[in-house]
Amino acid sequence: MKDISTKELEQKATEMRMKVIDMIYKAQSGHPGGSLSAADFTTACYFKDMNIDPENPDWEDRDRFILSKGHVCPIQYACLATLGYFPEEELDSLRKEGSILQGHPSMNRCPGIDISTGSLGQGLACGVGMAIAGKMNHKDYNVYVVVGDGEAQEGEIWEAANTAHKYELDNLIIFLDANNLQVDGTTDEIMPNGDLGEKFRAFGFDVIELDGHNMQEILDALEVFHNNKNGKPKCIYAHTTKGKGVSFMEDVCAWHGMAPNEEEYKKAMKELQEKLEEQKAVNRSEI
């Protein structure tokens, strides 16, 4: 793991949320709700946990990161730009024709994207394939896959999970972004999932259930999994809030795929800036 503290990671997650809101506002298109709910564990992966090299995006031994719920790519783009995979000014081109930053991640356009995603359910299957390749080629990389709880209604998710168990893919880590909302309502209203943690356990996964906005819990879970190469694939069952960090977006279904207007943008950025200043003050007091 890289040398960055939990407090610094929390601050970084707020900065990534600000970039998400900024790029979606400028594009007047995108998916803020799920991008914000996935911000904390995505930040933990990119800035702390993963073995990656921005100067060599196609490095054969790198860890892989897959957004199976590809529509939340703004949070991934924010992290990639901050790490130097591409110039930060590219964030202003989100969803524009010809941009490297399309509405769903494209491996053929954007450095740092390991697989193109968008059709829900397919990203986990791709991640399973990458993890199998790692085992066959005696590589020690890990594959991280972000799956939405609404996406978990897709049958392909469970076919992939079954395959991960069969091939003992302990180099596969799923982040289950359980924010209980999808485009048309709550997951219980659309298609009840039951206990997703128990489902993944039944498919042979090691599962840790946690607060998806508690950075220390996220880091602790990753450490447990890294130290437990027991032949079982891994699942971090992260309870999250859609729109986390922006008060009027939190737990509101409409913000699944809607851009803020000017007034909403200013309010959101003000809230996040205040949170960032608060975090910086705490960090300074602890130095």
283 band by pLDDT with thresholds 50, 70 and 90: confident
Could you report the per-residue pLDDT of 58-72, keeping only the tens digit for each? 999 999 999 999 999
Q: Is the pLDDT of residue 287 over 90?
A: no
Burial of residue 280 (CB within 10 Å: 0-12, 13-18, 19+) is: middle
Q: Is the pLDDT of residue 40 over 70?
A: yes
DSSP characters for 27-92?
A: HT-S-HHHHHHTHHHHHHIIIII----TT-TT-TT--EEEESSGGGHHHHHHHHHHHTSS-GGGGG
Average pLDDT of the residues in 117-123 = 95
Weakest-pLDDT range from 123-127, 146-150, 283-287: 283-287
Percent of the chain scored above 70 by pLDDT?
99
Give me the pLDDT at residue 116, please: 98
Could you report the per-residue pLDDT of 215-235, keeping only the tens digit for each? 999 999 999 999 999 999 999
* Measured distance CA(174)–CA(286) in Å, rounded: 33
Give me the pLDDT at residue 285, please: 78
Q: For residue 157, what is the enclosing H or E element?
A: helix 155-166
Whole-model pTM: value is: 0.97
Give CATH for domain 6-286: 3.40.50.970
Could you report the per-residue pLDDT of 75-101, keeping only the tens digit for each? 999 999 999 999 999 999 999 999 999
Give me the pLDDT at residue 2, please: 84
Give me the pLDDT at residue 284, please: 81
* Measured distance CA(158)–CA(178) in Å, rounded: 16
Give me the pLDDT at residue 1, please: 67
